[in-house]
């Protein structure tokens, strides 16, 4: 296990080797308003590894994930993916990742299956494969039994499971997960562990912001500790 500690003086790897499917973050600065939340952050995630982001509330875990997927504009620094520089807002990069925020992104007036089918349209899955992809994703997330219920009638834990089904919908190598195990029971937790392990075995990479133990073997897990900088 590599433990990156965010100290603002992490040595910069001048000639970082060009590795296949490595996500690198170089000298990242993020501000909220005029206040810098993170500055000079460096880390890298290799395929088959899960980076668990730790840090107190307000230390910038969510901000970091939202910047990685291009929802937030960055105030400095760069990202590299597969050895080349990448713009997080570019469609090419966004097709490579799935981001799940705190709350499962579901439309309450649509059924679970309809929600997933819409997500499949957005991900560009062709019409003929859509139904199959949706039912496979539901099976994988163990959510098939409430496929036809309206999303707003689900419990928090069930919604979480549907969110996991969204993860399985289209194969994207980068998973960005914000608090993926809240509201889940022990079987749900085991499911998350299984899904992440499967993803890592397919040489995907995961960045998860959570303090809970994801139950991953330590050889697949790295840690990034965000701590608010002393002035």
Partner 1 sequence: MDWTWFHRLASPPHIYRVAGTLTPWFAWPAGLLIVSALYAGLFLAPPDYQQGEGFRMIYVHAPSAWLSVMIYGVMATAAAVGLIWRMKVAHAAAASCAAIGASFTFVSLVTGMLWGKPMWGTYWVWDPRLTAQLVLLFLYLGYMALRSGIDDLGRADRASAVLAIIGVVNLPIIRYSVEWWNSIHQAPSVMKMERPSMPFDMLAPLLMMLLGFTLMFAAVMLVRVRAEVLRRERGASWVKEVVS
Partner 2 sequence: MSAWAGVLWRDLRLAFRRPGQVVHPLAFFAVVALLFTLGYTPELGKLRQIAPGVLWVGALLASQLSLDGLFREDAEDGTLEQMVLSGQPVAALVLGKTAAHWVITGLPLTLMAPVVGFALGVPVAAMPGILCALALGTVSLSLIGAMGASLTLGVRRGGVLLSLLTLPLAVPVLIFGARATELAIAGEGLTGVLYLLGSLAVLALTLAPLAAAAAVRIGLE
From the list 10-18, 78-86, 108-116, 133-141, the region that binds partner 2 by CB under 8 A is 108-116
Least Å distance, CB 91 to partner 2, is 4
Q: How far is CA 23 from the centre of its chain?
A: 12
Least Å distance, CB 166 to partner 1, is 27
Residue-wise burial string across 110-143, b where 16 or more C-beta atoms lie within 10 A, e elsewhere:
ebbbbbbbebbeebebeeeebeebbeebbebbeb
User: Residue 223 pairs with which residues in a beta bridge?
Assistant: 3, 52
Q: Does 34 bind partner 1 (CB under 8 A)?
A: yes
Least Å distance, CB 33 to partner 1, is 5
Q: Does 114 bind partner 2 (CB under 8 A)?
A: yes
Lay out the site mask for partner 1 across 101-140 (x = CB under 8 A, - = otherwise): ----------------------------------------
Say if residue 96 is exposed, middle or buried (CB neighbours under 10 Å; 0-12, 13-18, 19+).
middle
The closest of 25, 129, 34 to 68, measured between CA atoms, is 25
- What residue 101 binds from partner 1, partner 2, none (CB within 5 to 8 A, per partner kind)? partner 2
Rounded Cα–Cα distance for residues 83 and 44 (Å): 11
- What residue 55 binds from partner 2, partner 1, none (CB within 5 to 8 A, per partner kind)? none
Question: Which residue intervals of 104-171 are DSSP H helices?
Answer: 112-122, 127-140, 156-169
Q: Does 156 bind partner 2 (CB under 8 A)?
A: no
From the list 6-14, 32-40, 126-134, 176-184, the region that binds partner 1 by CB under 8 A is 32-40
CB 226 within 8 A of CB 64: yes
Q: How far is CA 38 from the centre of its chain?
A: 19
CB 177 within 8 A of CB 209: yes
From the list 28-36, 48-56, 107-115, 169-177, the region that binds partner 1 by CB under 8 A is 28-36
Interacting residues toward partner 2 by CB under 8 A: 69-73, 91-92, 94-95, 97, 99, 101, 103-110, 114, 118-119, 121-124, 127, 166
Interacting residues toward partner 1 by CB under 8 A: 31-35, 73
């Amino acid at each position: 296990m590599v433990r990156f500690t965010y100290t603002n003086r992490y040595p910069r790897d001048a000639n970082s080797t060009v590795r296949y499917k490595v996500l690198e973050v170089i000298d990242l600065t993020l501000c909220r308003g005029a206040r810098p939340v993170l500055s000079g952050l460096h880390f890298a995630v290799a395929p088959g590894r899960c980076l668990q982001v730790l840090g107190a509330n307000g230390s910038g875990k969510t901000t970091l994930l939202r910047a990685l997927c291009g929802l937030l504009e960055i105030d400095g620094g760069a990202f590299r993916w597969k050895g080349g520089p990448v713009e997080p807002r570019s469609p090419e990069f966004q097709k490579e990742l799935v981001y799940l925020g705190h709350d499962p992104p579901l439309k309450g007036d649509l059924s679970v299956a309809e929600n997933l089918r819409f997500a499949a349209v957005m991900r560009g899955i062709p019409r003929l494969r859509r139904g199959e992809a949706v039912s496979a994703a539901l099976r994988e997330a163990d959510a098939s039994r409430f496929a036809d219920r309206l999303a707003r009638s689900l419990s928090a834990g069930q919604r979480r499971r549907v969110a996991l089904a969204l993860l399985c919908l289209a194969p994207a190598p980068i998973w960005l997960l914000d608090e993926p195990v809240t509201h889940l029971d022990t079987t749900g937790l085991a499911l998350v562990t299984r899904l992440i392990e499967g993803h890592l075995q397919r040489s995907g990479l995961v960045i998860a912001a959570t303090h809970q133990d994801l139950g991953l073997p330590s050889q697949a897990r790295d840690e990034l500790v965000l701590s608010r900088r002393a002035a």
